[in-house]
Amino acid sequence: MEPMIRGYSVKQQLNFLQTQYEPGVAERLFSQIPGGVRDGLTNIKPAEWYPRQYSVEILRAIASHRGKDEGAVQNDLVRCGTFIATEATNTFLKILMKMLTPAIFAKKIPEFWQRDQKGGHFEVDTSNAKDGHLTLELCDVEGFDHIGVLSIGWISFGLKSLGKSDVVVEQKGWSLGSPGPKNVSYDVKWS
């Protein structure tokens, strides 16, 4: 089965590229997306499924902006993940998020992933949640370039929506030299 992604996520990634950079930069980054994918992006419907490659090409374009500066690339991709989460959180979900604990939120992450992705999965350990610590692993996503750091943005956003402060999400697995590893692990802490 070909890995797939929901249209709303693709649209938000594209919206980030087009609105969070100066117009000339956004145009240059968009032009780096292969023509066949660019053509497919014109009529994206939020609830429909699309090839994961659409997302990969957009994220590659975003990552290319900062060259070999891994910290700057990571910062842009985390901002993109936060942007997607912010836009995806409707009024009902905002209210729901205020009622969840970090452990319950973390246990829902695999469901959130499955709702929006076909291919890969999250594994979560909440045994230390009462101490302000979670561990997660995004598994079987080889070739999904840059999802490892994009996910930091929406994990952080989720915990901050729960009212947690000083949220720190560290990942192992992604680097510019290895943008699409099979697995990415996360160590999440907050106060």
Given a contact cutoff of 8 angstroms between Cβ atoms, the answer to whether 137 and 122 are in contact is yes
pLDDT tens string 51-89: 999 999 999 999 999 999 999 999 999 999 999 998 777
Distances in whole angstroms, Cα of residue 1 to Cα of each of 51, 54, 118, 119, 120 = 11, 16, 9, 8, 11
Please give the pLDDT value at position 90: 66
Residues 83 and 101: their CA atoms lie apart, in Å, by 22
Sorted by where each begins, the domain ranges of the chain are: 4-87, 95-189
Of 153, 145, 182, residue with least CA distance to 85: 153
CATH number of 95-189, picked from 3.40.50.1370, 3.40.50.300, 1.10.10.10, 3.30.1380.20: 3.30.1380.20
Please give the pLDDT value at position 27: 98
3-state secondary structure of 6: strand
Please give the pLDDT value at position 21: 98
Q: Mean pLDDT by 10-residue block, N- to C-terminus, for the chain (191 residues)?
A: 94 97 98 96 94 98 97 98 84 73 94 95 98 98 98 95 93 98 98 90
Given a contact cutoff of 8 angstroms between Cβ atoms, the answer to whether 77 and 153 are in contact is yes
Please give the pLDDT value at position 99: 82
Please give the pLDDT value at position 93: 67
